[in-house]
Amino acid sequence: MDGKIIVVTSGKGGVGKTTATASIGAALALEGKKVAVVDMDIGLRNLDVVMGLENRIVFNIVDAVKGRCKLKQAAIKDRRIDNLFLIPASQSDNKNVLDPEEMVRFSSMLRRHFDYVFMDCPAGIERGFENSVAAADEALVICTPEVAAVRDADRVIGLLYARSITPKLVVNRIVPALVERGDMLSHVDMVDVLSVELIGLVEMDDQVVVSTNTGVPLVMQKTSKAGAAFRRIAMRLNGQVDLPIQVPEASGGLFKKFRSKFGLKK
Amino acid sequence: MIANFFKNIFGKKNESKNVAKQRLKFALIYDHLEVTEDILEALHKDMVEVISKYFEIDQEAFKLDIRRSDELSALVVNTPILSAKRKRKQAQPDPT
């Protein structure tokens, strides 16, 4: 196997990197690919709780990289989704226990065992970021339509380009009603400002909270709009590059739009 | 309601996202202009080298700055010239 390493990053914290990693990883596993999601936030792990696998951790990435256990022992198999594995972060170390060189070596082993490996990058652009991007073939930049997130995304995009990685943008937590009213940056604005390729638009979705509360993967909840958006991103990553990007729309349909055009509705 | 009507028909000036976009564009231009000390030093060295090919300059007094104002940023180079160097004749390729 000659798998792909994809780093999921954003610069700013709290924009949905972990949710995106878990969801896109799960979606690709549901497509039949062998997927590992790796929590690179050493010292502050949380991909495990988001995926509902927190009770099954024995070994972690630091153990695996340092050779204290086998890769198989550190990779926790998801019981609901075949082919989905989590390599958890260590909670007691700090980010400097790993270095980019070790990650490059470890990643070549990951490539042999998995079709796709997603690195859930910590916030910031320090060692944790360096480690996460060290062996990356591709990058997903997650960004919400807010000035702070866009600015940080721009910084991260610059750093990725400096490493000859061309990132793709996921706009997360879009509130269509706010966009229509002109009170939220649209994805067009964001692409314009960041000059980067778009790979998916994910709208704000209460189901994300439900999913993290329960640890049930978002992409398994049939009614979740965000889950569906992440599934489409996964399919695009998996070669369906022509799959059109759906722009989230405010519910209410044509009549409401008509009324809002004529000022009958705020 | 009437105000809203006109606002929607004629202008989008009040949309807060336009303010956000404009602010972001300026912030990013500023961010991109930030240069690290290393880069400035390397540029300093290269420029001294290049200028020295054509002019005898006082290398100690050579100054390199980035000046910013609201409208633009400029790279300001200031160096005293001691003398112009005589242009060396290019070696002519031998006609064979």
pLDDT tens track, chain A, 266 positions: 789 999 999 999 999 999 999 999 999 999 999 999 999 999 999 999 999 999 999 999 999 999 999 999 999 999 999 999 999 999 999 889 999 999 999 999 999 999 999 999 999 999 999 999 999 999 999 999 999 999 999 999 999 999 999 999 999 999 999 999 999 999 999 999 999 999 999 999 999 999 999 999 999 998 999 999 999 999 999 999 999 999 999 876 555 555 555 555 44
How many domains is chain B partitioned into structurally? 1
Cβ–Cβ gap B15/A264 under 8 Å: no
B77 occurs within a structural domain: yes
Q: In 3-state terms, what secondary structure has residue A253?
A: helix
Specify which residues A169 forms β-bridges with: A141, A198
List CB contacts (< 8 A) between B17 and chain A.
179, 182-186, 189
Distance from CA of A183 to the nearest CA of B (A): 5
ipTM score for this prediction:
0.82
Whole-number Å distance between alpha carbons of B48 and B51 = 5
A266 occurs within a structural domain: no
Whole-number Å distance between alpha carbons of A137 and A4 = 6
CATH of the domain at A168: 3.40.50.300
Count of Cβ atoms closer than 10 Å to residue A70 Cβ? 12
For the entire predicted model, the pTM comes to 0.82
Distance from CA of B27 to the nearest CA of A (A): 8
A88 occurs within a structural domain: yes
How many domains is chain A partitioned into structurally? 1
Question: Domain containing A244: what range?
Answer: 4-261
B76 occurs within a structural domain: yes
Per-residue b/e over A222-258, b at no fewer than 16 CB within 10 Å?
eebbbbbbbbbbbbbbbeeeeeeeeebebeeeeeeee
Whole-number Å distance between alpha carbons of A231 and A218 = 10
B80 occurs within a structural domain: yes
List CB contacts (< 8 A) between A143 and chain B.
none
Whole-number Å distance between alpha carbons of A258 and A263 = 9
B55 occurs within a structural domain: yes
B38 touches A at CB < 8 Å: no
B91 occurs within a structural domain: no
Q: Pick the residue of A187, A189, A260, A265 with the most B CBs within 10 A to test the interface with B by mutation.
A: A189
The DSSP secondary-structure symbol of A90 reads: P
Phi-psi region of A164 (alpha: psi -120 to 50; beta: other; left: phi over 0): left
Q: Pick the residue of A125, A146, A150 with the most B CBs within 10 A to test the interface with B by mutation.
A: A150
Question: Domain containing B50: what range?
Answer: 36-85
